[in-house]
Amino acid sequence: MSTRLEVRKTYKLFIGGAFPRSESGRTYEVLDAKGGFLANAALGSRKDARDAVKAARAAQPGWAGATAYNRGQVLYRVAELLEGRRDQFVAEVAAGEGLRAKDAEAVVSAAVDRWVWYAGWTDKVAQVAGSANPVAGPYFNLSVPEPTGVVGIVAPQRSSLLGLVSVLAPVLVTGNTAVVLSSTDRPLPAITLSEVLATSDLPKGVVNILTGRVAEVAPHLVGHMDVNAVDLTGTVDAAGVAWADLEAIAADTVKRVVRPPAGDAEPDWTRAPDGPRRILAFTETKTVWHPKGA
């Protein structure tokens, strides 16, 4: 009886709803927690980051222009598909993070639940963060949160799925689009998430996912002039790059920056979110005046 050879996978990037190879043609080996081979992943480059930002910018007006209710429906559909592929996510989280199957199942369940939780905020965040302001005159004065634009995200390096969901989902709630640089050593859950997004109702370009080395790609993503805000939470354990250096790069183009927590440690992603704080970190407040009727 012949021995079947394993089909070794070489994964691609996710840009503009498509799955291109890195423009450099480079790949790198993804290993499990014990050093065993899992797959090959594309080694993203500066050019790939630029292409991803271009796709995110093109998609942003349409995503922001959708109704809050529609965005909630779309994001909930993503959660449905996440649930449908939970066995694959469990296997990838267990292999990459060195967890027992039971613990990996708990992580995946928490990630799906968190995506649902953020999906529910789409048509509620304006009521929480908006206001009708008292003014001296016959006017309505209303303040409402609006999306910042294109957000660059350095995904958590250790928590390859729950951490990823915890930083990506809140960015999408109000109409931002995202370019995500996945965990370097544990990219498979991010890659599988890209396959989920490609088969969901999410418009192409709303989320773009790059794999590769944080030290190589992050400075170009953070410094890109068409990126409006960045989340650097995932730089805590990234080899060869410090979040403070990336924050300095972001300052050149006056970007909003979400820093890692105090102590230079990844947050405990199993803790419940602190209300809509992460959502509001990527919003701007728009205030309008309107005359009252007679």
- Asked if 218 and 246 count as a contact pair (C-beta separation under 8 A), the reply is yes
pLDDT of residue 150: 98
Residue with tokens 């199942």: 105
Question: Over the Cα atoms of the chain, what is R_g?
Answer: 20
Measured at the CA of 31, the angle between CA 25 and CA 36, to 5 degrees, comes to 130
Q: Which helix (H) or strand (E) holds 42?
A: strand 37-42
Q: Where are the alpha helices (DSSP H) in the chain?
A: 46-65, 68-84, 86-97, 101-119, 125-129, 162-173, 188-198, 214-223, 243-251, 277-280
pLDDT of residue 293: 75
Q: In the chain, which residues have pLDDT < 70?
A: 1, 263-264, 294
Residue with tokens 């449905």: 80
pLDDT of residue 294: 55
Give the pLDDT confidence of 20-31 residue by residue, as tens digits: 999 999 999 999
- Quick one: 137 exposed, middle or buried, by C-beta within 10 A (0-12, 13-18, 19+)? exposed
pTM of the model: 0.94
Gap between the Cα atoms of 231 and 221, Å rounded: 11
DSSP characters over 114-129? HHHHHHTTTTTHHHHH
